[in-house]
Structure 1
Amino acid sequence: MTIIQATTKHLKDIVPLFDAYRVFYRQPSNLIAAENYIKERLTKQDSVIYIAYINNVAVGFTQLYSLFSSVSMQAMYLLNDLYIDTQYRNQKIGTLLIHKAKELCREKGCKGLMIQTEKSNPAQHLYQREGFIKDEDLSFFWKTI
């Protein structure tokens, strides 16, 4: 398996995975919108996307957004997206993608890595096994709609 940082050259690989990720979260499939969204993230460099490949087939990805903590005056990353193709689950791909994200945090001297996911997400055990601790303080969200 190989993990690389995505660029716009990898759109054909990341878009189907990103679309499947959204479908997992009960959103309608929309490959055109998915491509536009990922292309914008990569072009503006406002996220970091890692793609996992097995035999030149893209099998999973993670997308990270940079954040800052005013209290600690340190940068951190939000691991907002993590998805493994259903045919490739339970092969430690998610673990290796998380390790890549942790490596980025260490390289950049970040405070840490935050994960945003649904409480019912079956990957909860993976996050806990990888040393993530539930933070009950991060419990509010405001929506414009």
Structure 2
Amino acid sequence: MVITKASVKQLDHLVPLFDCYRQFYRQPTDIKRVQSFLKERLTKKDSVIFIAYIDDVPVGFAQLYFLFSSVSMQPMYLLNDLYIDSNYRNKSIGTALINKAKALCREKNYKGLIIQTESNNPAQHLYQREGFVLDEDLSFFWKVD
């Protein structure tokens, strides 16, 4: 397995994975919008995306967004998106992507990682196994009508 930091050059590798990720969260397929969204993220560099490859086949990705903790006055990442192709699950790819994100935090001397996911996501056990703890303080959300 090889994990690389994505650039616009890997857009064609990311788009199908990201579209499947959205479908996992009950969103309709929308390749054109996915491509536009990811291209903007990569061009503006407002997120970090890691892609996992097995035998040159893109099999998963993790997308991190930049955040700051005002209380500790430290930067951190939100690991907002983590997806592994269903044909490649249970092969430690998710663990490898999380470890890549942890390594980036250590390299940049960031505070840490936050994971945002549905409470019934089957990957909860992975996050707990990788040292994440449920934070009850992060449980509110306001949505524009």
Same fold (TM over 0.5): yes
Instruction: Output the CA distance in 2 between the equivalents of 1:50 and 1:136.
Output: 28
- Write the letter of the residue equivalent to 1:119: S
How far the C-alpha of 1:40 sits from its partner, in A, is: 0.2
CA root-mean-square deviation: 0.4
Partner of 1:60: 60
> 2:18 maps to which residue?
18
**Structure 1 unaligned spans of 5+:** none
State the number of aligned residues. Answer: 145
Query: 2:115 and 2:74 mapped to 1: Cα distance?
Result: 17
CA offsets 1:2-33 (integer angstroms, 9 cap, x no match): 00000000001000000000000000000000
Matched, 1:39 2:18: no
Residue in structure 2 matched with residue 126 of structure 1 by the alignment = 126
TM-score, reference length from structure 2? 0.99
**Structure 2: gaps of 5 or more residues:** none
The letter for the 2-side match of 1:5 is K
SS of the equivalent of 1:137 reads: helix
> 1-side partners of 2:33 and 2:77: how far apart?
24
For 1:109, the aligned partner's letter is N
Opposite residue 16 of structure 2, the aligned amino acid is P
Q: Which residue of 1 aligns with 2:3?
A: 3
Q: Aligned letter for 2:78?
A: L
**Aligned-partner SS, 1:110:** coil
Q: 1:76-115 counterparts in 2 under 5 A?
A: 76-115=76-115
Rounded to whole Å, the distance in 2 between the matches of 1:78 and 1:99 is 14
Share of identical aligned residues, percent?
Answer: 69
- Residue 113 of structure 1 and its aligned partner are, at CA, apart by 0.3
| Aligned-residue offset at 1:119 | 0.4
Cα distance per residue 1:47-97 (max 9 Å; x no partner): 000000000000000000000000000000000000000000000000000
